[in-house]
Structure 1
Amino acid sequence: MSTWQEFAEEAPEMAAQVRARLEASQHHVLATLRRDGSPRVSGTEVAWRGPDLVLGSMPQSRKAVDLQRDARFALHANPGAPEDMMGGVDVKLAGRAEEVTDDEQRAWVDEVKPPSTESHLFRLDITEATTTGVSEDQTHLVITTWTPGGGTRTFKRA
């Protein structure tokens, strides 16, 4: 697993694309695992805090409880309207969410002022990043993946 900063240092061009897509929209889709192992999708917002990509959550929300029980997540960046995707990439991240507590959580609450001082803060450790776009000549998909220590790999698919 890697922090956002480690991802950005290992794959700066890809990390810049991913960050641009995440910053282009406020709302994204987070997948977590329910108690029975089935998937749950929730809307979420993400932000950067120091070297980390983080997300907040209302106290005891289903996604927070899911992440406390099983830290695995997948995040799909909002691609925006179809016309906004022209020349852009679709972005997905996977990894593990680590809940931030104590002084660091309180500092975040003081800074961000979420609706409740009991709101959850999770640091997202990344195990995989994927971008998917269309080639310039519009003839195939271009899929780039990154994993910690594995670097980036690009595939083309018709």
Structure 2
Amino acid sequence: MHTNWAAFTAAEPELARTVEQRFAAYTHHVLATLRRDGSPRTTGLEVRFSDGELWLGMMPDSLKALDLRRDPRFALQANPGEDTGMGGGDVRIGGRAVEIAAGDAETRARYAEEAEPPEQFHLFRTELTEVVRTSVEDEKYLVVQVWKPGEPVRTLRRT
């Protein structure tokens, strides 16, 4: 089961706000895709949250775009930053990327207004399968929050 960013935000507004803040803290993040042989590929990426969607924009014919065209599954991790404090925690999103066709000029133009991509670009909207936040609480507990579509957030605490 999967859903878009708007549905996640409606279901879990506090966690969604925290996730967006973590992504907003830095420009570049890490995207994992699957190569043709099934092995993982990690690359840098900028993301956008707008119109109730999480968007992934890419250079023309980039390997990550070609990976997603072949197998839409991805994992996206927010840049943890330069310090070890991990303010806001470590945030990861898993899901499927759905390419917006070049013929969908309206959607691509709305994205381009905010993101200023190159003249030619790949654009994917995301369908979420999982959102995970890992943080430290009271300097002694590792707290893992896991959300999946159709389920409430599950919180695990470890010492």
* Shift in Å, 1:108: 4.1
**What are the ranges of 5 or more consecutive residues in structure 1 without an aligned counterpart?**
none
Give yes or no for contact 1:57–1:121 (8 Å, CA) kept in 2.
yes
2:60 counterpart of 1:59: yes
**What are the ranges of 5 or more consecutive residues in structure 2 without an aligned counterpart?**
none
Q: Cα deviation per residue 1:108-151 (whole Å; 9 max; x = unaligned)?
A: 46524312x22000101111000000012x11200000000012
Q: TM-score, normalising length from structure 1?
A: 0.92
Give yes or no for contact 1:2–1:126 (8 Å, CA) kept in 2.
yes
SS at match of 1:82: coil
* Shift in Å, 1:37: 0.2
Which runs of at least 4 in structure 1 moved beyond 4 Å after TM superposition? none
Give yes or no for contact 1:105–1:121 (8 Å, CA) kept in 2.
no
Percent identical: 48
Give yes or no for contact 1:67–1:97 (8 Å, CA) kept in 2.
yes
**2:134 equivalent in structure 1:** 132
Q: TM-score, normalising length from structure 2?
A: 0.92
Counterpart of 1:147 in structure 2: which amino acid?
Answer: K
2:5 counterpart of 1:17: no
C-alpha change, 1:49 and 1:104, in structure 2 (3 Å) is: farther
**1:96 equivalent in structure 2:** 96
Q: How many pairs are equivalent?
A: 155
Distance in 2 (alpha carbons) for counterparts of 1:106 and 1:6:
21
SS at match of 1:118: coil
